[in-house]
A = this chain, B = another copy of it.
Amino acid sequence: MNRQIVLAAHPRGAPQPDDFQLVEGTIPEPGPGQMRVRNLYLSLEAAIRSWLDGTPNYFAPIPLGGVIRGPSIARVEASRMAGYTVGDLVFGLHQWEDYSLSDANTVLLRKLAPNRDFPLSWYAGALGGSGQTAYVGLHRIGQIQSGDTVLVSAAAGATGSMACQIAALRGCRVVGVVGSPEKVSTLQEQMAVDAVLNYREEPDLAAALARACPEGVDVYFDNVGGKMLDAALTAMAGGGRIVGCGMISDYNHAGSPTPLYNLWQVIERQLTMQGFLLYSYLDDVPAAAMQLEQWVKEGRIQVLENIAEDLSVAGVAYSAMMTGTTMGKNLVRVGGAG
């Protein structure tokens, strides 16, 4: 039996648990060039939200009744694919189910060679895409320098928590923005941030940013977009850089995005705003991965993760993540047989 999570309804706004449904499918048999993998951890990612609306973007939309597409850490169970053998650990864009088929066309597919001293789940977050995105975004796009003031939004999230710590390790002054007192406490207690703001408690966010960054923001690592980006535009230092990593404030209502009013600052302050997706910078990933493992091994990076137990709660876990109530990397341990 192959348990699967399918799309029961297109979410309106933030996904709700009822938008997802557990069904029972059959265990797939790999054809020529394919392999069957046993999913171990689902990596819950904001990008999945954009596939739930039934409208095409750079991936096809997931139809009603279709199995949710999402990245996972998995173990090869049966292989008719060259180069992959039973027992290999892999990462790839699979589906929310016990068993998936994978082949040369699987997006993001790569073998994992995890350090056995670390939990395997870290390779979907701090030591995987989240950490690598933070690292590459800060260095390659943001071009951070020691002494820079670096502003990070969604600073208690999977990518944001890594961006804060990486920037601090590079000698930057780090200001994080989060959305709950618990997140403020976590950042203050576990991470070397210089200041943390709770945007929900700041009626004038631009003024709060100006107070927190009196000399201006050299690099803004933006996971949020919308009002946060609009406020950050007014807090940038001349010649500052905005790393466009995500716009999670709009993912639950992509059809009616938040208006921005402060683009004039791009000219007046001579800013550079650059969007990026990690898969365009794969050449940078090996060095990033090595440095991140080193820092984690030395205890200089705290890994924040939130693991939901069992495939059956994937929809619940995803709904919680997309309403902003969780911290760190969100994962589902698939569980079940085997």
- The answer to whether A263 touches B274 (Cβ under 8 A) is no
A269 within 8 A of B: yes
Contact check, A229 vs B263: say whether CB atoms are below 8 A apart.
Answer: yes
- Kindly state the separation between the CA atoms of A245 and B270 in the bound complex, as whole angstroms: 10
* Structural contact, B272 and A272, CB atoms closer than 8 A: yes
Q: Are B271 and A275 in contact (CB under 8 A)?
A: yes
CB within 8 A of A264: which of B245, B250, B262, B268? Answer: B250
Copies of the polypeptide in the assembly: 2
Cβ-neighbour of A276 out of B58, B244, B270, B280 (below 8 A):
B270
Q: Which of B239, B257, B277 contacts A263 (CB 8 A)?
A: B257
Checking B229, B262, B266, B274 against A271 with a beta-carbon cut-off of 8 angstroms, the contacting residue is B274
CA distance A269 to B58 in the complex (A): 10
Residue on B nearest A274 in the bound complex, by CB: B272
A261-B267 CB under 8 A given contacts A272-B273, A273-B272, A273-B273: no
Whether B266 pairs with A244 at a CB distance below 8 angstroms is yes
Contact mask for chain A residues 251-289; partner B; CB cutoff 8 A; 1 contact, 0 none: 000100101111111111111111111001000000000
Asked if A191 is at the interface of the complex by the 8 Å CB criterion, the answer is no
A interface residues, how many (CB within 8 angstroms): 32
Partner of A267, one of B247, B267, B268, B270: B247
- Residues of the B chain whose Cβ atoms lie less than 8 Å from the Cβ of A105: none
> In the bound complex, how far is the Cα of B274 from the Cα of A297, in angstroms?
38
Is the pair B261, A257 in contact by a Cβ cutoff of 8 Å? yes
In-complex Cβ contact of A277 among B229, B270, B280 (8 A): B270
Q: Is A129 an interface residue (CB 8 A)?
A: no
Contacts of A261 in B (CB 8 A): 257, 259-260
Question: A267 contacts which chain B residues (CB < 8 A)?
Answer: 244-247, 275-277
* Complex: A266 Cα to B243 Cα, angstroms: 10
Knowing A269-B275, A275-B270 are in contact, say whether A225-B257 is a contact too (CB < 8 A): no
Contact of A259 among B57, B259, B264 (CB under 8 A): B259
